[in-house]
A and B are shown apart, each in its own frame.
Chain A
Amino acid sequence: MSNVGIQTAQGRSLVSAGRVGKFLKSWDSILTLIFIAIMVGGSFVSPYFLDTRNLLDTTFNFMEKAIVALPMLFIILCGDIDVSVGSIIALSALAIGGAAQAGVGTPGLVLIGLGVGLIAGMLNGYLITRFDIPAIAVTIGTQSLFRGISQAVLGDQAYTKYPVDFEFFGQGYISGTPIPFELVLFLLLAVGTGILLHRTTFGRKVYALGRNPVASKFSGINVGRLRFIIFSWAGLFSGIAAVLLVSRIGSTRPNIASGLELDAITSVVLGGVAITGGFGGIYGVVVANLLLGYLKYGMGLINVPGRVMNLVTGALLIVAVVLPETFKRLDQRKRLFKKQGGTV
């Protein structure tokens, strides 16, 4: 009896690898369909929804989040998690703000923002890989630490003085078009991330690590280095997000980007990436970010309060995880049923 159980358990894990792969393809298409449904539904709900200018301008509201979601995709693919990205943005924003008050010019501000983000990410990566501590524990600590530093320095103050040309990153458009710079930057970074993930050995290593950490170690992947690079990269992209965010809102307060980590994780999971690692891809994450952004935009047009929007995204997240699992289980039951000649 127990023997049978073990065999099916093994068979199941082998089967499910192929199944999930197949399902993800269809998850991408489901996401695309939901996205189209939101666009169509939105245009019915409000005549202002499909206005090109509005559609482009509303991306300002979620591009920072989407940019952070890119490295978060890699982190979750590895089976890790990073809940400190929002706080890295706060720390990086603090540095940008402080430097701006001291009269540093725009190029310097960008460099400082990226640099501080990168260093914060490297600290995460170092603690995680050097001491082999679960990423969730480390990043819960650094989440407090990074935002705490910002809070200790700023208190109830805010940095509000920035050079005029610094405004371009978060408020500017590609010259002569109504296309926001943030949107173009995100798309470029997303394409780059997609190539890295799906067309290079680096990306293959990430999948290998996420699916079987032990096997990937034995097959010669430098797991520690890989994770260190990915967490550092998350820090760097958080730095980019900080530059955009500070430039857009023109003010740095300690609570800047608080909760952004949860939004980024939500979009990645909604994008069909398994939280246990190893499954998912760039397309789902990009679509999920656009989907969430335009859903909020649509709800905003019909005056849905922010808290209630969170209810919708929270529910969406849970449904996004429950549905594939349920399908998978139904499918397995069917297979099992067939295998045992319909006796179960």
Chain B
Amino acid sequence: MRKFLKRRETTLALIIVGFIILVSLRSPRFATGSNMYDILNDTAVLMLASTAQFLILLTGGIDLSIPSTMAFTGMLVSMLNIREPNLPIVVVLLITLAIGLALGAFNGILVGALKIPPIIATLGTIAIYRALVFVVSGGQWVSAHEMSSIFVSIPHNPFLGISGILWYTTITIVLVGLFLTYSKTGRAIYAVGGNRPAARLVGLSGERVDFIAFSLSGAISGLAGLLYVTRYAAAQNDTALGYELQAVAACVIGGVSVLGGSGTMVGVVLGAFFLGLLYNALTEVNLSPFFQMGIQGLAILVAIVANTLVDRRNRHKMLAKRNLV
């Protein structure tokens, strides 16, 4: 119980509850179930992007190319939709995942096989994938009236009263969480991210882990891209611009270390949800949406400073304990 209370996720959850109470004092509408449901729907894409970023941060890298992967996948499936308006959703999903996977795997090859530092590799591909959006679309949008009703219904389609976008997001998050916690490869990602040389000595291949993490991250970004374009019913060249940093923000707020090897799926989801709450609360307390970016920056800085201070205290405690024993 004490351990549970001390956990980072618990703290964040308490902060979230406190935040909700605080805002609803000013605007009672805020804490209602339907508003929370709306916020979840609004945050779902960010949660997926954050999950994609989380996998890479765990390996000790960073993925700047996430928004470009989202935009490219979203554009490609939208254009496919114009040609084949009646493709079943399952097929669209599979194609989406495949495109995202391919883009992610290309990142994975650059990082894993060619040994380019992730920040440089994805700095290159953020420009390349975004340029490819322009190349395939010829600079044109795909707008709502060109999309088939099946396609646009993907994020809505309620099942058991819950929207499609939340189902896809929840399933992805649960799968990734299980994968990271219980699968061998998932544990290897933590091990490699925590201490690459040590992981190597116990026989874990950092290259393989990088490749898998980037491929998975790409597939998830692809899904995020599909949900983005279908939810807003428009695929543009500027789709998801800036999402890479929002995703890092969600992860950092959720307690993920940018040095790799530590952080949990639950933390990331809470971090993304917290950002979603922040954005939504701005309008509730009559602040202009132009404040969003600044407040997000402040939240990131507060979170990383807090992370560092807590880490340091824990380390001191551990050392002190060892001296006593």
Contacts and interface: CB of A to CB of B under 8 A. Distances in A.
Interface of A: 81, 127, 131-134, 136-138, 140-149, 151-152, 154-156, 254, 262, 265-266, 269, 275-276, 305, 307-308, 310-311, 313-315, 317-318, 321-322, 325-326
Contact of A148 (B62, B258, B294, B308): B294
A145 B304 contact: no
Contacts of A326: 114
A276 B117 contact: yes
Given A133-B305, A145-B294, A321-B121, 18 more contacts: A81-B119, A131-B304, A140-B252, A141-B300, A144-B245, A144-B293, A147-B293, A148-B291, A151-B293, A152-B294, A154-B290, A276-B117, A305-B134, A305-B139, A311-B132, A317-B124, A318-B116, A321-B116
Given A140-B300, A142-B301, A265-B123, A308 B293 contact: no
A324 to B, nearest CB: 11
Nearest to B305: A131
Interface string B296-310: 111011001100110
B116 A140 contact: no
A154 B259 CA distance: 35
A254 B292 CA distance: 13
B44 interface: no
Contacts of A325: 114-116
9 contacts: A133-B308, A134-B258, A140-B248, A144-B300, A148-B298, A275-B119, A307-B135, A317-B127, A318-B116
A144 B134 contact: no
B46 to A, nearest CB: 14
A264 B59 CA distance: 26
A269 B114 CA distance: 16
Contacts of B115: 325
A152 B288 contact: yes
B125 interface: yes
Nearest to B244: A140
Contacts of A275: 117, 119-120
Contacts of B131: 307-308, 310-311, 314
Q: How large is the interface on B (under 10, 10 to 19, 20 to 34, 35 or more residues)?
A: 35 or more
A140 B247 CA distance: 11
A35 to B, nearest CB: 20
B128 A145 contact: no
B249 interface: yes
A269 B110 CA distance: 16
Nearest to B287: A152
A14 to B, nearest CB: 17
A310 B304 CA distance: 32
B293 A322 contact: no
Interface in B131-152: 131-135, 139
Contacts of B309: 131
A143 B242 CA distance: 11
B231 interface: no
A141 B304 contact: yes
Nearest to A309: B131
A315 B57 CA distance: 24
A149 B139 CA distance: 31
Contacts of A134: 258-259
B285 interface: no
Contacts of B117: 275-276, 321
A269 B120 contact: yes
Nearest to B197: A9
B113 to A, nearest CB: 10
A141 B120 contact: no
Contact of A143 (B116, B121, B259, B297): B297
B294 A137 contact: no
Given A133-B308, A317-B124, A307 B297 contact: no
A325 B115 CA distance: 8
B295 interface: yes
Contacts of A317: 120, 123-124, 127
A136 B290 CA distance: 24
B297 A146 contact: yes
Contacts of B288: 152, 155
Interface in B266-324: 288, 290-298, 300-301, 304-305, 308-309
A137 B292 contact: no
A305 B309 CA distance: 47
Contacts of B294: 144-145, 147-149, 151-152
A91 to B, nearest CB: 10
